[in-house]
Structure 1
Amino acid sequence: MFLYQIDEDVSLKLIELKDAERVFELTDKSRKHLREWLPWLDFTKNAEDTKEYIHGCLKGYAETKSMTTVILYKGEIVGVASFNSINWSNETAYIGYWLGEEYQGKGIMTKAAKALTNYAFNHLNLNKVEIRAAVENKKSRSVPERLGFVNEGMIRQAEWLYDHYVDHVVYGMLASEWKEYIS
């Protein structure tokens, strides 16, 4: 099983079916907050929906197309961070994440995104990591900005959120830039 210890409080663990109840509970508790920026909330009505999601995550991991982890903070699941997809021919991973509302503002997501970026470059030997976020989603955008990712531009109407489109900012980090950034 994949486990990436970041520091004494924060780690990433490959998502498992046994995590479904907690992930759903966290989703449900933060539903109103998460719904502002995530398009899948209306399709996640119970723990069975979360189990179906986890089945898809595990299939993607087995096929080396993605890697979904739960974020552990002091031993408790507080969110999800993943390579939503890995494009092996272009050597690029696409990071996505969400955090329970009560766990924001503690630096947890920045640590998780940094760990995934390290993993992409140092273990998967990829060339690029991308993070995309809605233009107005300041909290999500602050993560790649804190990590030194380059703002590569905007994709207009990149995502449908329930009743409207949102534009996305694309952030990128190259392996060569990361080595300079973390040294």
Structure 2
Amino acid sequence: MFYHKIDEELSLKLIELKDAERVFTLTDSSRDYLRKWLPWLDFTTKLEDTKTFIKNSLKGYAEGESLTTFIVYQNEIVGTAGYNSLDWSNKIAYIGYWLGEDYQGKGIMTRVAGALTDYAINELNMNKVDIRAAAQNHKSRAVPERLGYVQEGSVRQAEWLYDHYVDHVIYGMLAEEWKKKA
């Protein structure tokens, strides 16, 4: 089972069905906040939807295609983060994340994304880590910017959010750049 301790108050653990109720409650309590930037909130309306997400994520992990973890902050699950996709042929890990509204502004996601970047490069031997965020989602964009990622470009109308498209900004970190920073 995957477990990665980041620091004294923060760790990542492989998602588990036993945590479905906590994650659904967290999702539900942050629904309006998360809905602004995440396209799946209207499809996560009951506990069973979260259980299906966990099962699908565990399948992706078992097949080596992705890794979804729960973010544990001070012994409580506060969000999810991981590799939405692992491109083994090109050695690229694609990081995705979300955090419950009450846990914003504590530096959690920057530490998590830094740990995921480090793990992808030093443990999975990836050459590149990619983070994408909606152009207007300044909080999410600040994460790769704080970590020194390079803004590589944007994709127009990259994602449909309920009633409109949003552009995505693409950030990348090469293994050689990350290792120089270490």
Instruction: Report the TM-score range of the alignment, normalised by the length of the smaller protein.
Output: over 0.9
1:33 corresponds to = 33
Q: Deviations over 1:36-69 (max 9, x none)?
A: 0000000000111000000000000000000000
- Quick one: distance in 2 between partners of 1:121 and 1:19? 28
Letter in 1 for 2:179: K
- Quick one: distance in 1 between partners of 2:108 and 2:130? 19
2:92 corresponds to = 92
How many equivalent pairs are there? 182
Question: Aligned to 1:6, what secondary structure does the other structure show?
Answer: strand
Gapped runs of 5+ residues in structure 2?
Answer: none
Correspondence 1:33-52 to 2 at 5 A: 33-52=33-52
Q: CA deviation at 1:146?
A: 0.2
Q: CA deviation at 1:130?
A: 0.2
- Quick one: distance in 1 between partners of 2:58 and 2:163? 30
Q: CA deviation at 1:113?
A: 0.4
Does residue 175 of structure 1 match 2:150? Answer: no
Correspondence 1:52-91 to 2 at 5 A: 52-91=52-91
Letter in 2 for 1:124: L
Q: Deviations over 1:76-134 (max 9, x none)?
A: 00000010000000100100000000000000000100111011011100000000000
Gapped runs of 5+ residues in structure 1?
Answer: none
Does residue 140 of structure 1 match 2:136? Answer: no
Query: Percent identity of the aligned residues?
Result: 70
Q: Deviations over 1:6-49 (max 9, x none)?
A: 10000000101111101100000000000000000000001110
Q: Deviations over 1:128-170 (max 9, x none)?
A: 0000000000000000000000000010000000000000000
- Quick one: distance in 1 between partners of 2:172 and 2:47? 34
Letter in 2 for 1:29: S
TM-score, normalised via structure 1 length: 0.99
Q: 4+ residue stretches of structure 1 with deviation over 3 A?
A: none
TM-score, normalised via structure 2 length: 0.99
Letter in 1 for 2:142: S
2:17 corresponds to = 17
